[in-house]
Amino acid sequence: MTPKQLKVLEAIEEYWDTKHCGPSLEAIASIVGVSSRSTIHSIVKRLHEDGWITMQPKRWRTIMSVRKSPLVQHQEFMAVAEVKEEVIEPTVIHKPIEPEHKPNIEVEKKISTTDDMSTSDKKKEWLAGMSESKKDDLDKVIEKHLTNVRRYE
């Protein structure tokens, strides 16, 4: 931190101690003894980038030193006052599912996954396992899809 940055940081802290609100750039300039707001603005911007101050963009009087921040002081107080509590592990009771309450699960026949079958053979086997109503439904879906595709060609 440069000496000018330190002066600006101390000016911000002093302003907060006396006025209880964030200083304007003009107020910081008058405390530090600089006539240019742009100089103060560049120093404040650099302090913000380096993490020495916090501020909300496009809001007036929100500049605050991190060293004197009430939030930081509260966090330090909570860290000192923190009391370790005994952790109680919950007891988990597992109840077995009785056979009469098990859900009915239907397992479909899987297509054999042998490598010697071609893709067309696998399709034929899959279609052979389907009922006629499912085949009709599948044909309708395919026809509808093809009709939609033809519309946009």
Residues 74 and 127 grouped into a single domain: no
Claim: this prediction has a pTM higher than 0.75? no
Residues 73 and 8 grouped into a single domain: yes
Residues 57 and 7 grouped into a single domain: yes
What are the pLDDT tens digits along the chain (153 aa)? 888 999 999 999 899 888 888 899 999 999 999 988 899 999 999 998 988 888 887 877 888 888 766 655 556 655 555 555 556 666 666 666 665 655 555 655 555 555 566 777 777 777 777 777 777 887 888 787 777 766 665
CA 132 to CA 118: how far, in whole Å? 24
Q: How many domains does the chain have?
A: 2
Residue that finishes a domain, picked among 79, 107, 134: 79
Instruction: Count Cβ atoms below 10 Å from residue 117 Cβ, excluding itself.
Output: 14
Domain that residue 45 falls in: 3-79
Instruction: For 53, list phi and psi in degrees, rounded to 5.
Output: -135, 160
pLDDT of residue 39: 92
Residue that finishes a domain, picked among 14, 47, 79: 79
Residue 108 lies in a domain: no
DSSP E strand stretches across the chain: 53-54, 64-65
